[in-house]
């Protein structure tokens, strides 16, 4: 599913214009990005929680040469689905 698909779903279900639906989707994603960029967690009830996690310096290996390298520290976003979301996903998998 793409951002355009989300806009279409909102357009069809809510009855807003495509322009308004696009603005809503863009505003939602901008809010999510800003919240995570600030290092805060984002909890969406019934869906799940996004966490920002810090990864420290660690050793890695260049797959071509096999040489050891040091991987720089960085932040990553992780997602933990809610129990409701897991239940729906498991039913869809069956």
Q: Is the Cβ–Cβ distance between 80 and 48 less than 8 Å?
A: yes
Which of 51, 56, 54 is closest to 75 using CA atoms?
54
Q: What is the pLDDT of residues 24-73, one digit of tens each?
A: 999 999 999 999 999 999 999 999 999 999 999 999 999 999 999 999 99
Residue 25 sits in a domain whose CATH number is 4.10.520.10
Assigned domain for 34 exists:
yes
Kindly report the pTM of this predicted structure: 0.76
SS3 content of the chain, % helix, strand, coil (to 5): 45, 30, 25
Q: What is the pLDDT of residues 75-86, one digit of tens each?
A: 999 999 999 999
Q: Please state the domain count of the chain.
A: 1
Domain that holds residue 1: 1-38
């Amino acid at each position: 599913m793409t951002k355009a698909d989300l806009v279409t779903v909102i357009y069809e279900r809510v009855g807003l214009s495509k322009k308004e639906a696009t603005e809503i989707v863009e505003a939602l994603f901008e809010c999510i990005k800003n919240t995570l960029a600030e290092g805060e967690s984002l909890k969406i009830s019934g869906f799940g929680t996004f966490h920002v996690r810090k990864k420290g310096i660690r050793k890695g290996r260049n797959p071509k040469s096999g040489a050891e390298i040091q991987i720089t520290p960085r932040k990553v976003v992780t997602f933990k689905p809610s129990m409701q979301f897991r239940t729906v996903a498991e039913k869809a998998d069956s």
